[in-house]
Chain A
Amino acid sequence: MKLDLILRVGTKVLLPLLLLFALYVQFHGELGPGGGFQAGVIMTGAVILYAIIFGLNAAKRIAPQRLVEAMVPLGVLIFAGTGLAAMLLGGNFLDYSVLAADPPHGRELGIILVEAGVLVTVSGTMTAIFYAFSERGR
């Protein structure tokens, strides 16, 4: 892919910032606006930008297709697994208060785990759909 130098350099500058912003949205989601869903989509946006500028194969090197497709069910499993872990520890399904020694800490931990599950499924699904579409177009 021979494209404008400005686009390529600009993308390289933007890419770490985008990924960092996605992580910020993810882990700052308890404090400010954001959460797993938004962070997942921003992460996908970074991958799509990279794929548009540097080509699909380059994007597949940083986000391999098998990994992306495995992430689709993995996030749901993390979410449901958090709920089941709460059940195994003697609470109700998705009742995070038993996950740590005192209930508020447990619920905070549960929220972080659940948001991670949402992030994994959303970014995996969006990227997998993008890959599927762009492969069909070849």
Chain B
Amino acid sequence: MRTLTLGTSAALLLAAALAGAASAQTVQVDSAIAGYQKTSGVSGNLSSIGSDTLNNLMTLWAEGFKRQYPNINIQIEGKGSTTAPPALIAGTSQIGPMSREMKSEEIDAFEKKFGYKPTAIRVAVDALAVFINKDNPLDKLSFSQVDAIFSKARKCGGAKEIVSWGQVGVTGELATRPISLYGRNSASGTYGYFKEHPMCKGDFKDTVKEQPGSAAVVQGVTEDKAGIGYSGMGYKTSGVKALKISLKDGGDYVGVDDPTQVYSGAYPIARFLRVYVNKAPNKPLDPMVAEFVKYVLSNEGQQVVVKDGFLPLKAAMVQEEHAKLQ
């Protein structure tokens, strides 16, 4: 286990290095989202275990939160969304960031221990990007093509399996090259989301190289000219290119870089990032956790979201999330 942590931390180091190179965003945080109001008497240990996609974000929030309350000690671990529910249940973490919704089995296990269901709070919007090497001339794919590239089952209706770049219209030297697939490990929410949406719940091909982190996927595609991979858009670097995606063959191809398209739902693989907390019904949330969540939902917290390359929540969404804390 120790070596594994080492492995992940190596991947994290890389992630931190790459995050600096993330592309500049022009998104503005909704001005209707109020700033953070500091309260008193918040101190102690706060622990978060969960999503790798949210890992950078959690770290940045933790830094900001610590500036408000220097007496707080925050630990963050991000190996994959699936690690969040067991940690919440065992009580080893108070915050469980997840890039997918909890499955009913996980909710059951939580409910078995506490008698009530966990509370999900949306904290940011993430569009998944499908990346290819920057030297690949391709610029768009449809869902059924993505499915036929990544999945064995082709449940989205692709007629033929796609194995080489020539089959999606790439010409030149790359045309005959087999497509080299990069993906996340199965603990990741991104893995699950990708399976459910662009692949219509089909299975990944066995040849998808499972990487322990989003940064490793991007790094893999950067180094592999015939590579294709997916991860949250926050991990985009200059070595890769994000494809335009369309829900239907010949439909509108939408780029991930256009925030309005993501908010309107026109970009087909966008999702909410969530943190799960253990809130007993009829009882207020633990003050430290409550303040952290409030910070995340504040203007400052959402600025951090923009800084890390994700999309901030809209004011109406923030309002809905605040209601859950009551």
Whether chain B is bound by chain A comes out as no
Residues of A within 8 A of B (CB): none
Q: Which residues of B contact A (CB under 8 A)?
A: none
